[in-house]
Amino acid sequence: MIGERDANRVRTAGDRGPRRPTRREFLGLAGLGALAVGGCGLLPGGESDPLPGIPRPGKTGHVEKYTFGAAPLDFDVAGQSFSTWGYNGDVPGPEVRVREGDTLRVRVENRLPEETTIHWHGLPVPDDMDGVPGLSQAPIRPGEDFVYEFVVPMSGTHMYHSHVGLQLDRGLYGPLIVEPKSEDLSYDREYTLILDDWLDGVSGRDPERALEDLRNAGGGMMAGGMGGMMGGGRIEYPLYLVNGRPPEDPKSLPVRRGERVRLRLMNPAAETIFRFAVDGHPLTVTHSDGLPVEPVEVDALTIGMGERYDVLLEANDPGVWQVAAAPEEKPGLARALLRYEEVGQSSPPPDHRPPNLAGRLLTYADLRAKGLDSFPGDGGPFTGPDRVHRLTLSGGMGAYEWRIDGQVYPGAEPLEVREGEWVRIELQNQSMMRHPMHLHGHSFQLLNGTGRGPFKDTALVQPHMGGLALDFHADNPGEWFFHCHNAYHMESGMARVISYET
């Protein structure tokens, strides 16, 4: 089952040693057993106390095994059935839940009519496991299998997805949860909420046709063409989903009064930024892109494509409440329901927009890295920058073409770095759209004016000459993709390779 795990346990800073699984966890394991072949990664591994502070890769000796069949399937959405592609017959794909330091081994059986790969979004894995076709690996051909295997280097709320063409805009994505060796966070329950924009198989639509429509509509200059499907270079989707469920058939999140609930929020949507809020409940942000931040209380947060946030919610107001993800600059709503077990009230209507969607909104300036005095990995204290890449983002005028510093991938020069350098990237957005820029293989630190910006791997660059600057430590040699996580922008050129000089 996706996105639902009754954690039923409280972790504290002192709780570092091996512990016995509760009965509920055993039940949970039984459920996971159908998905994980021989997996038992939730059991205490008997590892020694972790180093405080910096997450570091290290073998626990435990190997967590999964098998993903990538294949066409019929996806049932509120009584309608859509032909799409997914993993193991479901959308989203199976939850991968491992522990930091475990070895993750995933056999991918490609039963699609096209080549495919999987990218482990958020994890700085070795270059040849990163899943970018033609860059880090040869794509997996139809009928062939491929085994991804790596030591899980970092904890957090992450995702996996296909990195071939527009396959992300089908059902080829799923949650990747890495339990930390220790965590200074206590909560009673957790839910994973996966936000998506959906068009595949609806009224004859598919991602390739949607891209054609964008190109024919003249990119960002035209609005409202294509029967309302395109507006201002954006795709208006017929459906917005939470964990594969439409607003008419929402997922329920049961809670009891007095509980503290952790929500793991992730946006694998291809073309939609969501604004998230829970009616009647403020949210305390604890992690951005899987890494801890100083807690900050907000009413709502913006989640760009590829971004993840962890938030805590105090369940202290019984009722049935809308858990809303509103597509930004598009009509429609995705939702789930926060349902207190004490009451049997009726549900809010599918299109109910909680007032706190318009309340206090998280900004990057609010975020400060927590508990990481050094960079994740082996970065140590920041001593740079040794090299600065200043890049513009542009496109969308006239032809549907998107550029980094005037160049269209794959006809674009690599951005060179040298191992051991501190690298700064400064972005200036000359276009009219926001771009969630994603760096593979590294965490970066956002320069947000606080001196302690959050560590992330994906960040939204604001339009109309908006700027963004980030630092990363070149500590993972290889050829790494740096790109817009709008799948249609990536496919239309907004990508570069960060290349280590040898």
- The secondary element (H helix, E strand) that includes residue 423 is strand 422-429
CB nearer to Cu ion: pick between 144 and 405: 405
Residue 415 CB, shortest distance to Cu ion, in Å, is 17
CB nearer to Cu ion: pick between 322 and 486: 486
CA 100 – CA 157 distance, rounded (Å): 12
The residue assigned the tokens 């299109």 is 351
Residue 494 CB, shortest distance to Cu ion, in Å, is 5
Answer whether 400's CB lies under 8 Å from 215's CB: yes
CB nearer to Cu ion: pick between 157 and 486: 486
Residue 251 CB, shortest distance to Cu ion, in Å, is 29
Residue 402 CB, shortest distance to Cu ion, in Å, is 6
Answer whether 302's CB lies under 8 Å from 325's CB: no
CB nearer to Cu ion: pick between 400 and 500: 400
Encoding tokens for residue 46?
């008997």
* Closest by CA position to 3, among listed 314, 236, 268: 268
Residue 492 CB, shortest distance to Cu ion, in Å, is 9
CB nearer to Cu ion: pick between 63 and 222: 222
**How many of the other CB atoms lie within 10 Å of CB of 41?**
23
What x-and-dash track marks residues 419-458 binding Cu ion by CB under 5 A?
Answer: ----------------x-----------------------
Distance of alpha carbon 339 from its chain centroid, rounded? 25
Residue 224 CB, shortest distance to Cu ion, in Å, is 21
* Closest by CA position to 459, among listed 450, 449, 448: 448
CB nearer to Cu ion: pick between 357 and 484: 484
Residue 286 CB, shortest distance to Cu ion, in Å, is 27
CA 333 – CA 34 distance, rounded (Å): 32
CB nearer to Cu ion: pick between 91 and 273: 273
List residues bridging with 99 in a β-sheet.
Answer: 179
Tell me: does residue 275 bind Cu ion (CB under 5 A): no
What x-and-dash track marks residues 469-488 binding Cu ion by CB under 5 A?
Answer: ---------------x-x--
Residue 172 CB, shortest distance to Cu ion, in Å, is 20
CB nearer to Cu ion: pick between 185 and 487: 487
Residue 437 CB, shortest distance to Cu ion, in Å, is 8
CA 92 – CA 84 distance, rounded (Å): 11
# residues near Cu ion by CB under 5 A: 4
CA 454 – CA 452 distance, rounded (Å): 6
Radius of gyration of the chain (CA): 21
- The secondary element (H helix, E strand) that includes residue 229 is none
In order of 89, 131, 219, 417, the CA distances from 400 in angstroms are: 33, 26, 4, 30
CB nearer to Cu ion: pick between 271 and 310: 271
CA 165 – CA 439 distance, rounded (Å): 17
Distance, first Cα to last Cα, the chain: 45
CA 200 – CA 208 distance, rounded (Å): 10
CB nearer to Cu ion: pick between 70 and 270: 270
CB nearer to Cu ion: pick between 211 and 484: 484
* Closest by CA position to 177, among listed 128, 241, 122, 105: 122
User: Of residues 441, 489, 497, 500, which one binds Cu ion by CB under 5 A?
Assistant: 489
DSSP secondary structure, 317-377, as one string? S-SEEEEEEEETTSS--EEEEEEETT--PPPPPTT---GGGGSPBP-GGG--B-S-SSBTT
Residue 84 CB, shortest distance to Cu ion, in Å, is 23
Residue 436 CB, shortest distance to Cu ion, in Å, is 7
List residues near Cu ion by CB under 5 A.
435, 484, 486, 489
